[in-house]
Chains A and B, each alone.
Chain A
Amino acid sequence: QQQVKQSPQSLIVQKGGISIINCAYENTAFDYFPWYQQFPGKGPALLIAIRPDVSEKKEGRFTISFNKSAKQFSLHIMDSQPGDSATYFCAASLSGSARQLTFGSGTQLTVLP
């Protein structure tokens, strides 16, 4: 019930291309869905987050698409750059002032120059 499944495990994209990472969840009580970017040896940094009352959210080159009925959400990175090469994690949490996050397994993104 608490799992968040993420795919693909790794992704290689050419510079300028679109990177797409998918996640699926089971617990319909989740109401907060963030995406994190993590570089080696660093903590995760919040990229963008969405709540289930909207189907899409865009911030710069990053877009979250959310499908509540399918219990799926995805991250799209437009015009991917070599500097975007990192590990990306989706996550989900229940409502509350302090969010205990359940993380996906991560996607290692490599953007080729």
Chain B
Amino acid sequence: GAVVSQHPSRVICKSGTSVKIECRSLDFQATTMFWYRQFPKQSLMLMATSNEGSKATYEQGVEKDKFLINHASLTLSTLTVTSAHPEDSSFYICSAYRGDTFGSGTRLTVV
């Protein structure tokens, strides 16, 4: 079956620094990937839709300059959290393959 690989699984960074999260489709090509954010004991909230070779589409309320998305190839999308702050600490998850196959998630902690 389709596999979506996400790295890193955990990252701790200092406030003000940037962090990059990778989402890879291992055995299929993904023209579209999705990025979600999940706070503890809450549901998944769509942040943005990543389209290969074009600009990402952000959901209302998501700062595009803070959450930079790059989808430069058919197998890789990256999410960069710029100038991270403690309130950005969360669980970030990507999906691909018709949007219903998810990566294992990245736990970001900003200290």
Asked if A44 is at the interface of the complex by the 8 Å CB criterion, the answer is yes
Interface pair B31/A100, CB less than 8 Å apart? no
Interface pair B46/A101, CB less than 8 Å apart? yes
In the complex where A45-B102, A46-B100, A93-B99 touch, is A100 in contact with B34 (Cβ < 8 A)?
Answer: yes
- Which residues from 26 to 45 on chain B have a C-beta closer than 8 Å to any C-beta of chain A? 31-32, 34, 41-45
Residues from chain A with Cβ under 8 Å of B105 in the complex: 41-43
Asked if A89 is at the interface of the complex by the 8 Å CB criterion, the answer is yes
Residues 65-99 of chain B, each 1 if its beta carbon lies under 8 Å from chain A, else 0: 00000000000000000000000000101010011
What's the nearest-Cβ distance from chain A to residue B7, in Å? 12
Interface pair A99/B100, CB less than 8 Å apart? yes
Residue of B nearest to A34 (CB): B100
Main secondary structure on B side of the interface with A: strand
Q: How large is the interface on B (under 10, 10 to 19, 20 to 34, 35 or more residues)?
A: 20 to 34
Interface pair A43/B6, CB less than 8 Å apart? yes
In the bound complex, CA of A4 to CA of B92 (Å) = 21
Q: 11 A-B pairs, CB-CB below 8 angstroms?
A: A34-B100, A41-B105, A42-B104, A42-B105, A89-B43, A93-B100, A98-B32, A98-B34, A98-B99, A101-B99, A105-B43
Interface residues of A (CB under 8 A from B): 32, 34, 36, 41-46, 49, 89, 93, 97-106, 108
